[in-house]
Structure 1
Amino acid sequence: MAQLERLSAYLQRHFADHNWGRQYQQTIDRVLKNGDVQRFLTANAAELTEATVDAGAAKLFEYVKLREELDAGATPPIPGYEPQLVMSNHQIDIAYQPSADKVAADAQRAKASLVTVMNMPKDIRGADLLAYDQQDRTEALAAATMFVNAVAKPDRGHVQGLYLTGAFGVGKTYLLGAIANGLADFGVGTTLLHFPTFAVNMKGSIATNTVTQEIDRVKRAPVLMLDDIGAESWSAWLRDDVLGVILQYRMQEDLPTCFSSNKTMDELENFFAGREQGNSETVKAQRIMQRIRFLSREIAVGGRNRRPQ
């Protein structure tokens, strides 16, 4: 404190030597009473000398003037950055650091970049586990929270994903989005895709010879979520050469995978067997379901239809 008082006294003498008028004296008082200036002088008292203060007095004045202008609503010289007093090569200087708003915005953008959404509802972007209505869905929320915590562990082993099953509109898709956003908080990337739309796009990619590229892009996702599986048109090619390839890769690489469906696992097996179309490809359906059951466990999501009628 004695060092700070000595420096403050020197600043008073420094400005007084210039024989400035009353208005300048008031400015000098503002500089010396400014909280940022006081904290800076205190933090750097051991390094500051009278010569350093003499050379940097104008910077202190410039800083306080700039801060007052910014506090009054002026546009920053560098948008998104704010001035800070620093010691640079043993001299007082002004540096520009990201503002708290910019840091928060950058963090939000970084988080959003970890969630890849393909043909999903817009509200998925803002889905939050803390905002999830627990009525008739306590088990699903608990399972989702446990899944996020398990995947976020640096030394995780095999983490079984979730197969969310329930009626139309009960919140399965929203819960997948909330899980993805929860994982993003831990720096874990997720790809969410609406499987019926993906199925249509995959059939279209045959003409452009990009089937392999599309499959590779999806199967390698750190965490993959297939929404509304079983709602697509039945196709042996889609089941075996697209979904089967994706799931086999994820089993081999032990990559977390989640699903949502209006069908239970048993109903999905019947769907994959083609029984709704009069087919009976039981073995191939069982092979797909073995992969799904290895990758995920079935969780019922109850409650009312929450979508606008």
Structure 2
Amino acid sequence: MAQLERLSAYLQRHFADHDWGQRYQQTIERVLHNSDVQAFLRSHAHELTEATVDAGAAKLFEYVKLREELDAGATPPIPGYEPQLVISNHQIDIAYQPTAAKVAADAQRAKSNLVTVMNMPKDIRDADLLKYDQTDRTEALAAATMFVNAVVKPDHEHVHGLYLTGAFGVGKTYLLGAIANSLADFGVGTTLLHFPTFAVNMKGSIATNTVTSEIDRVKRAPVLMLDDIGAESWSAWLRDDVLGVILQYRMQEDLPTCFSSNKTMAELENFLAGREQGNNETVKAQRIMQRIRFLSHEVVVGGRNRRPQ
């Protein structure tokens, strides 16, 4: 290769008048035979002149020395970055680029920031559609995949969310987390919250006068997932002035929304009407259910209880 030949000739001339011994001769050989140096010279052949190669010899020495030190376990000058040979202002130079590990870590951090988890199990952070056990849950997995594909489609129209219903411990919450993580891969943000805990926190927000800001934070999420809805008794205020407001906004703005519940939609309607407590607020319950049905469709999640006994 012409570039390598020019570099070799320069190095030989540079050291010809110095009796620096075998160690320096070996250094020359390391530079000349370094795979990064060779690849750099090949890829920039159209930019390199003899003068550029001559002037850049010291930088090549510096680069090889740095790489050898790092390969031997030395601490990098800039943690998370590694030296790279570059052409800068028509001269050979060394720049620091993020390592593959840093790029991967930054990508994972950015992905994690897209999923807002409120009072959910920690393992939801690692939920993955590819790891979802399909036994008795093929329909649920197919629906989840279709939902993700619909949401990430550019300029999508109304996307029906999922109302995941099934027995305790069959994997409804995990599936919501897996969907959220899949959406994050496409840069779509999701808020995933445990609704019974959210309900308790909302009651506490009355004293701090933060009810409106809490509702606004949740209702505006690009994708919202309400987990375990209908698990505990509600007040009329929570049903109408909290959940009702959130669902009304999302219906008006046509924002993708998912739910999970141990109750079917029909059972949830009875629950919202207060029939389990002997009440009968049918109209108000129907109003909430109209919004839920507009935003989502019912998907049964089957299978056994997978939680530790």
CA shift for structure 1 position 53: 2.2
1:239 counterpart letter in structure 2: R
Report the alpha carbon displacement of residue 155 of structure 1 after superposing the two structures with TM: 1.6
What residue in structure 1 maps to residue 263 of structure 2? 263
Deviations 1:180-202 (A, max 9, x none): 00000000000000000000111
TM-score normalised by length of structure 1:
0.97
Counterpart in the other structure of 1:146: 146
User: What is the aligned partner in structure 1 of residue 200 from structure 2?
Assistant: 200
Aligned length in residues? 309
Counterpart in 2 of 1:305?
A: 305
- Rounded to whole Å, the distance in 2 between the matches of 1:218 and 1:212 is 10
CA distance in 1, matches of 2:16, 2:28: 9
Q: Which amino acid aligns with 2:43?
A: A
Amino acid at match of 2:41: L
Question: Aligned partners of 2:53 and 2:15: how far apart in 1?
Answer: 11
Instruction: Indicate the residue corresponding to 1:236 in structure 2.
Output: 236
Amino acid at match of 2:107: A
Query: 1:127 — aligned with what?
Result: 127
Give distance in 1, aligned partners of 2:275 and 2:81.
62
CA displacement 1:154-206 (0-9 Å, x = unmatched): 12111000000000000000000000000000000000000000001111111
Q: CA deviation at 1:49?
A: 2.5
Q: Distance in 2 between matches of 1:185 and 1:210?
A: 32
Is 1:21 aligned with 2:11? no
**Identity over aligned pairs, percent:** 90
Counterpart mapping for 1:207-246 below 5 A: 207-246=207-246
Change (3 A) 1:17 1:159: farther
1:293 aligned partner, one-letter code: R
**What does 1:46-61 align with in structure 2 at a 5 Å threshold?**
46-61=46-61
**SS at structure 2 position matched to 1:120:** coil
Q: Give the direction of change, closer, same or farther, for the CA distance of 1:244–1:63 in structure 2 (3 Å limit).
A: same
Paired with 2:186 and 2:115, the residues of 1 have a C-alpha distance of 12
Give 5+ residue unaligned stretches, structure 1: none
Which SS does the other structure have where 1:276 is aligned?
A: helix
Which letter maps to 1:62?
Answer: E
Alignment of 1:145-164 (within 5 A): 145-164=145-164
Give the Å deviation of 1:6. Answer: 3.4
Distance 2:192 2:35 in 1: 49
Match of 1:137 in 2: 137
Give the residue type in structure 1 aligned to 2:192: L
The TM-score with structure 2 as length reference comes to: 0.97
Q: State the Cα distance separating 1:9 from its structure 2 match.
A: 3.1
Q: Which residue of 1 aligns with 2:62?
A: 62
Cα RMSD for the two superposed structures: 1.2
Per-residue CA deviation, residues 240-291 of structure 1 (Å, 9 max, x unaligned), is: 1000000000001000000000000000000000001111000110010000
For the 8 Å contact 1:160–1:294, the answer to whether it is kept is: yes
Separation (CA, whole Å) in 2 of partners of 1:174 and 1:17: 72
The equivalences for 1:36-47 within 5 A come to 36-47=36-47
SS of residue paired to 1:206 = helix
Question: Secondary structure of the equivalent of 2:276?
Answer: helix
Query: Structure 1 residues 10 and 33 mapped into 2: Cα distance closer, same or farther (>3 Å)?
Result: same
SS in 2 for 1:221: coil
**Aligned residue for 1:248?**
248
